């Protein structure tokens, strides 16, 4: 009986091994999903098959790595592309079909004469509440439609006489209507006509309407709509008429409203300078922005301190070669310094008070001149000019005040050093207060001792991030890398705040709020890069570091240098990306940046991110860059 039982067990094991050997190879397509629509002639086709299997796409052999990885810049014909992917191994086949739709814009034919009704503009309601205060540019309405080329087009407002439109490029007809100051109509409709080459005339009506009158109104930013101190939320951005960002509002900021454009209201920041604001973020009432008082600018906390000489730091520790896995202790390299006295400012933040008498004027705050200057642009009327400031501060070299235009005043805070560690602005009682974070007092031997740093592993939960062709998406590659970076920084004495430690979903602004709440000096968001549709991935690889404000430039450079030194096989990448307009680089409360470690759309870069050894080197590089940055700040 025992012999028979053993024989049966042996037969079952042999059957299992045989079945495994005969199993059909798997085909995994990471990108694109079936049914994907693309407006370009190629798509990045990427994924993996069972290691050791071959792959064909529509009968064409595709290069496959030993790990099963494939990446192809695949051509598409207009319309539907039904791709058949076949993996073969050991006489077995695995098949996956993929539908990709290449969309192609079709021009309207010359005959018969026609107007594309979906193209007719304006598409939204335009209201003008104070025509007398608007410039001609602010009273302009752009008109356009697509139609048969080579025709004669005209528009008519209400029952007025038709006005000719210009054609260019072929089949696109345009005109600009400037609302006369004397206009008085509740609602007017634009009607378009096109007479084509076949002699026929067709008409179309714009969905948008134009109305005038009603008087100016007051818009107040709903305080609860603004999160944090310096997140600079894109959903609240005040833009110019072309959509360019002007400022990020604070709670209670007031605007003079002079019109409506679809779901936005139009504010007059100054004569001739309009801005668009989403109506839902404002409380709209009768009235206008209050007159601001002006007067003397003052400072909170004006003393400066002198500290005793710093002890001599140890000799610089050699930097490990890129192909080494460096221990934690080898990351920082603190240069040897002489024991000279160092003048520093108090630990309390510098607070500059601009007197407004309780008015909540719109303003924007920008960092300029490589971080040496913070410029406040005030929009509104001051009862008396700004002067000052009263008092002095070790962080502040001086304050420049000058009128820029009628109703616009610029206040420039010139700093003594180019490095800033965070800045914010808010209303406080009767004043507008600009807060500048002072440089920390660093331990010259262990510069990260006691520092608080937020690391943000990108994506998570329902947000996969970039497709992982080796079957692990961006969120899964970045989390262990970030956790290891945190361990390395803690080993150097830092306190690390992680926005997530597991596969959970976080909002973009939750991450910035976490950095603010922890009092972090740095916010480093870690990601992996990928190319959008229409970009040929061949040859695009390597690290990139994004930041918005000059205060992040030194840290970004340090991290980039370490990534290039420790992982040279990635390629140099595009490097530093200043002026980025990203949710995780716009926060100003601390130095904020986003690291794109490598490209998921490059096979070599992906393999580096996918291997434990590669992720260790990424973590060493990011931690090393942060350590280098702090070492460079000792004594500054």
Mean pLDDT to the nearest integer, 241-247: 96
pLDDT at residue 503 tops 80: yes
Asked whether residue 487 falls in the same domain as residue 539, the answer is yes
- The closest alpha carbon to 537, from 477, 581, 603, belongs to 603
Residue 256 lies in a domain: yes
| Pairwise pLDDT comparison (204 vs 322), residue with the higher score | 204
Task: Place 508 in a pLDDT band, splitting at 50, 70 and 90.
Answer: very high
Domain at 313, CATH number: 2.60.40.3500
Q: Which two structure tokens, joined as six digits, stand for 248?
A: 């990020």
At 29-56, the pLDDT tens digits run 999 999 999 999 999 999 999 999 999 9
Asked whether residue 588 falls in the same domain as residue 469, the answer is yes
Asked whether residue 170 falls in the same domain as residue 254, the answer is no
Asked whether residue 296 falls in the same domain as residue 328, the answer is yes
CA angle 254, 255, 257 (to 5 degrees): 145
Mean pLDDT to the nearest integer, 592-617: 98
Query: Using CA atoms, how far apart are residues 83 and 77, in angstroms rounded to an integer?
Result: 11
- Please report where in the chains the tokens 């049914």 appear, as a residue: 35
Beta bridge partners of 276: 239, 266
pLDDT at residue 314 tops 60: no
Asked whether residue 466 falls in the same domain as residue 611, the answer is yes
Domain at 152, CATH number: 2.60.40.10
Give pLDDT, residue 406: 96
Task: Place 378 in a pLDDT band, splitting at 50, 70 and 90.
Answer: very high
Asked whether residue 392 falls in the same domain as residue 428, the answer is yes
Exposed e or buried b per residue across 322-351, where buried means at least 16 C-beta atoms within 10 angstroms of its C-beta: beeebebebbbebeeeeeeebebbeeebbb
Asked whether residue 120 falls in the same domain as residue 229, the answer is no
Asked whether residue 303 falls in the same domain as residue 425, the answer is yes
Which residues neighbour 464 within 8 Å (Cβ) at sequence distance 6 or greater? Answer: 473, 474, 475
pLDDT at residue 345 tops 50: no
- Asked which of 73, 102, 131 is the last residue of a domain, the reply is 102
Task: Place 21 in a pLDDT band, splitting at 50, 70 and 90.
Answer: low
Q: What percent of the chain has pLDDT over 70?
A: 89
Asked whether residue 279 falls in the same domain as residue 341, the answer is no
pLDDT at residue 310 tops 60: no
- Asked which of 286, 310, 327 is the last residue of a domain, the reply is 286
- The closest alpha carbon to 595, from 496, 478, 463, belongs to 478
Residue 107 lies in a domain: no
Asked whether residue 470 falls in the same domain as residue 560, the answer is yes
pLDDT at residue 337 tops 90: no
DSSP 27: E
Q: What is the pTM of this model?
A: 0.89
Mean pLDDT to the nearest integer, 582-595: 98
- Asked which of 102, 128, 159 is the last residue of a domain, the reply is 102
pLDDT at residue 326 tops 90: no
Asked whether residue 225 falls in the same domain as residue 192, the answer is no
Residue 110 lies in a domain: no
Helix (H, G, I), strand (E, B) or coil at 70: strand
Give pLDDT, residue 60: 98
CB 368, CB 305: distance < 8 Å:
no
Range of the domain at 593: 452-633
Mean pLDDT to the nearest integer, 471-490: 98
pLDDT at residue 611 tops 70: yes
Query: Using CA atoms, how far apart are residues 511 and 494, in angstroms rounded to an integer?
Result: 19
At 170-204, the pLDDT tens digits run 999 999 999 999 888 888 899 999 999 999 999 99
Torsion of CA 121, 123, 125, 127, to 10 degrees: -30
Give pLDDT, residue 64: 98
Residue 17 lies in a domain: no
- The closest alpha carbon to 542, from 517, 579, 568, 561, belongs to 568
Residue 254 lies in a domain: yes
In a 13 Å sphere around the CA of 186, the CA atoms on its Cβ side amount to 0
- The closest alpha carbon to 43, from 468, 536, 530, 464, belongs to 536
CB 541, CB 570: distance < 8 Å:
yes
Please count the structural domains in the chain: 5
pLDDT at residue 561 tops 90: yes
Residue 445 lies in a domain: no
DSSP 460: B
Asked whether residue 344 falls in the same domain as residue 395, the answer is yes
Query: Using CA atoms, how far apart are residues 606 and 599, in angstroms rounded to an integer?
Result: 6
Residue 14 lies in a domain: no
pLDDT at residue 318 tops 90: no
Instruction: Tell me the CA distances in angstroms from 368 to 365, 408, 521, 549, one per residue in order.
Output: 10, 18, 20, 8
Give pLDDT, residue 92: 97
- The closest alpha carbon to 37, from 105, 118, 99, 106, belongs to 99
Q: Which two structure tokens, joined as six digits, stand for 123?
A: 């598409």
Residue 19 lies in a domain: no
| Pairwise pLDDT comparison (598 vs 314), residue with the higher score | 598
At 77-127, the pLDDT tens digits run 999 999 999 999 999 999 999 999 999 988 899 999 999 999 999 999 999
Query: Using CA atoms, how far apart are residues 216 and 452, in angstroms rounded to an integer?
Result: 48
In a 13 Å sphere around the CA of 135, the CA atoms on its Cβ side amount to 10
């Amino acid at each position: 009986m025992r012999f028979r039982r053993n024989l049966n067990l042996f037969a079952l094991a042999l059957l299992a091994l045989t079945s495994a050997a005969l199993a059909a190879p798997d085909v995994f397509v990471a990108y694109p999903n079936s049914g994907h629509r693309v407006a370009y002639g190629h798509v990045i086709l990427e994924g993996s098959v069972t290691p050791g299997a071959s792959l064909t796409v529509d009968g064409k052999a595709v290069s496959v790595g030993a790990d099963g990885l494939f990446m192809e810049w695949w051509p598409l014909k207009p319309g539907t592309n039904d791709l058949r992917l076949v993996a073969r191994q050991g006489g077995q086949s695995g098949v996956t079909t993929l539908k990709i739709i290449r969309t192609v814009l079709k021009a309207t034919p010359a005959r018969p004469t026609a107007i594309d009704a979906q193209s007719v503009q304006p598409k939204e309601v335009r209201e003008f509440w104070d025509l007398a205060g608007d410039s001609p540019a602010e009273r302009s309405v752009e008109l356009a439609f697509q139609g048969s080329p080579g025709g004669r087009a005209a528009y008519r407002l209400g029952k007025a006489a038709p006005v000719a439109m210009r054609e260019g490029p072929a089949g696109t007809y345009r005109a600009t209507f400037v609302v006369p100051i004397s206009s008085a109509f509740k609602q007017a409709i634009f009607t378009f006509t096109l007479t084509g080459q076949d002699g026929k005339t067709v008409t179309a009506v714009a969905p948008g309407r134009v109305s005038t009158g009603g008087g100016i109104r007051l818009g107040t930013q709903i305080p609860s709509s603004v999160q944090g101190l310096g997140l600079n939320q894109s959903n609240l951005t005040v833009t110019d008429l072309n959509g360019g960002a002007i400022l990020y509002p604070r709670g209670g900021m007031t605007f003079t409203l002079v019109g409506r454009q679809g779901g936005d209201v139009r504010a007059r920041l100054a004569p001739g300078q309009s801005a668009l604001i989403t109506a839902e973020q404002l409380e709209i009432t009768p009235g206008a922005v209050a007159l601001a008082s002006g007067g003397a600018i003052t400072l909170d906390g004006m003393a400066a301190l002198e500290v005793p000489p710093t002890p001599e730091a140890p000799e610089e520790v050699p930097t490990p070669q890129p192909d080494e896995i460096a221990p934690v202790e080898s990351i920082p390299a603190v240069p040897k310094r002489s024991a000279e006295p160092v003048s520093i400012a108090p630990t309390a933040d510098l607070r500059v008070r601009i007197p407004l008498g309780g008015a909540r004027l719109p303003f924007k705050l920008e960092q300029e001149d490589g971080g040496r200057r913070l410029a406040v642009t005030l929009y509104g009327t001051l009862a008396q000019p700004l002067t000052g400031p009263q008092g002095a501060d070790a962080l502040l070299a001086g304050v420049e005040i000058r009128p820029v235009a009628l109703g616009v005043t610029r206040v420039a805070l010139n700093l003594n050093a180019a490095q800033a560690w965070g800045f914010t602005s808010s209303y406080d009682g009767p004043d507008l207060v600009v807060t500048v974070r002072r440089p920390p007092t660093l331990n010259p031997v262990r510069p990260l001792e006691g520092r608080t740093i937020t690391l943000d592993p990108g994506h998570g939960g329902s947000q996969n991030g970039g497709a992982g062709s080796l079957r692990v998406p961006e969120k899964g590659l970045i989390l262990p890398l970030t956790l290891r970076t945190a361990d390395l920084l803690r080993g150097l004495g830092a306190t690390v705040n992680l926005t997530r430690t597991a596969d959970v979903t976080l909002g973009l602004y939750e991450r910035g709020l976490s950095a603010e709440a922890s009092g972090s000096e740095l916010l480093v968001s870690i990601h992996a890069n990928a190319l959008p549709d229409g970009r040929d991935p061949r040859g695009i690889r390597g690290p990139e570091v994004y930041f918005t404000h000059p205060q992040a430039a030194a840290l970004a450079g340090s991290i980039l240098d370490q990534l290039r030194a420790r992982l040279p096989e990635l390629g140099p990448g595009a490097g530093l990306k200043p002026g980025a307009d990203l949710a995780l680089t716009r926060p100003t409360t601390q130095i904020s940046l986003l690291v794109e470690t490598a490209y998921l759309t490059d096979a070599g870069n992906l393999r580096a991110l996918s291997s434990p050894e590669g992720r260790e080197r990424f973590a060493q590089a990011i931690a090393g860059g942060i350590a280098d940055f702090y070492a460079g700040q000792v004594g500054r």
